[in-house]
Amino acid sequence: MTPIFNSTSWMMRQVIYALALGVMAAYYFFGWGVLLQIVLGVVTAIAVESAFLALRGRDVISSISDGSVVLTAILLAISIPSIAPWWVIVVGVSFAIIFGKQLYGGLGNNPFNPAMLGYVFLLISYPLQMSTWQIDFLSLSQALDVVFDLSNIDVISGATKLDEVKNGLSLAGSIQQLDLHSPSQAWINAGFLLGGLYLLFRKVIFWQIPAAFLAGIVISSILLSVSNTDLYLPTQNHLMLGGTMLGAFFIATDPVSASTTPKGRIIYGFLIGVLIVIIRTFGGYPDGIAFAVLLMNMTVPLIDSFTQPKVFGR
């Protein structure tokens, strides 16, 4: 007899496997920096979590082996620029684990998505390091040089397309004059989309959150671009730029901090999608996924209590 799931760690591993395609796409375009950040993040996460579990007198091995902390580290590592200095990911992951998770009592008790909490902390504290993305593929030695600041090498770096929209729009005057073509982001998004579909297929995540998340983006971006096509980003760019697919399938679906009722998941996902478009369009930061997710994390208890499913016979 095989239960539907083997364990929580099995679920976490499935999510990590599902991330592989998107990570491979990112590696293809940006090179070794991507993997370096992941390694740094995972090592830091395991060290910090172990230390804290030991301090709290918990069983270190069994908690580490559930894989949740590795997943948090990977999610944060692929969200930050791959040329960010090594201490950025170390500080970010440490913050995510300590303030996002352990201080609330560890796995299952955190009201916020730890990876996004770490991301926002970094974004606010180190805006420069967090907004410089490279353009080229980096070899391992190049990546080591950049990340550990070993020698002065030149990396062609720049802003992301979403940044360009934010800054370039005032100069260009209309969206149509901007070059929004970005194969790297489109491929990475496609990779995460496929990984997400795999998770749906394995029933590790439920369809409501990603579907509502994407619907929220589609509907609100259509409404905006209909109102003024020159000013607002078209829907397909919203879907294929930034971390949209990663957010829809891997971040908003974090079970611990997301809504848990079927109806609640729809509301939760939809509002995240809408908030992302609003933040991208009117907010001060280029991509709004982290803020949107954290804002909606706060509303989860309220959503859950208002969307209890119908109980048999009531």
CA–CA gap between residue 165 and residue 185 (Å, rounded): 14
Which residue's CB is nearer to other proteins, number 8 or number 157?
Answer: 8
CA within 13 Å, CB half, 296: 32
Strand positions, DSSP E, 85-242: 133-134, 157-158
Binding characters for other proteins, 144-183, by CB under 8 A (x = yes): ----------------------------------------
Say if residues 108 and 99 touch (Cβ distance below 8 Å). no
Of residues 20, 56, 62, 125, which one binds other proteins by CB under 8 A? 62
Q: Note whether 272 and 247 are within 8 A (CB).
A: yes
Query: Which residues in the 239-278 window bind other proteins by CB under 8 A?
Result: 255-256, 258, 260-262
CB 176 within 8 A of CB 230: yes
Are 185 and 242 in contact by the 8 Å Cβ rule? The answer is yes
Q: How far is the CB of 211 from other proteins (least distance, A)?
A: 15
**Residue 159: CB minimum distance to other proteins, A:** 36
Amino acid at 157: S
Give yes or no for residue 57 binding other proteins (CB under 8 A): no
Joined together, the tokens standing for residue 158 give: 């720049």
How many angstroms separate the CA atoms of 110 and 279, rounded?
Answer: 24
Rounded distance, CA 101 to CA 219, Å?
33
Considering only 87-95, 102-110, 144-152, 243-251, which stretch makes contact with other proteins by CB under 8 A?
102-110
Shortest Cβ 171–other proteins spacing (Å): 46
Tally: H helices and E strands in the chain: 15, 2
Nearer to other proteins, 158 or 262 (CB): 262
| Interface stretch with other proteins, choices 25-33, 61-69, 140-148, 156-164 (CB under 8 A) | 61-69
Beta carbon of residue 76, minimum distance to other proteins (angstroms, whole number): 18
Position 304 contacts other proteins (CB under 8 A) = yes
Rounded to the nearest 5 degrees, what angle is found at the Cα of 270, between the Cα atoms of 264 and 273?
A: 140
CA atoms within 13 A on the CB side of 41: 32
Binding mask 180-219 for other proteins (x = CB under 8 A): --------------------------x-------------
Q: Which of 108, 127, 158, 183 binds other proteins (CB under 8 A)?
A: 108
Question: Which parts of this chain interact with other proteins (CB under 8 A)?
Answer: 1, 3-11, 62, 66, 68, 106-109, 206, 255-256, 258, 260-262, 304, 308-314
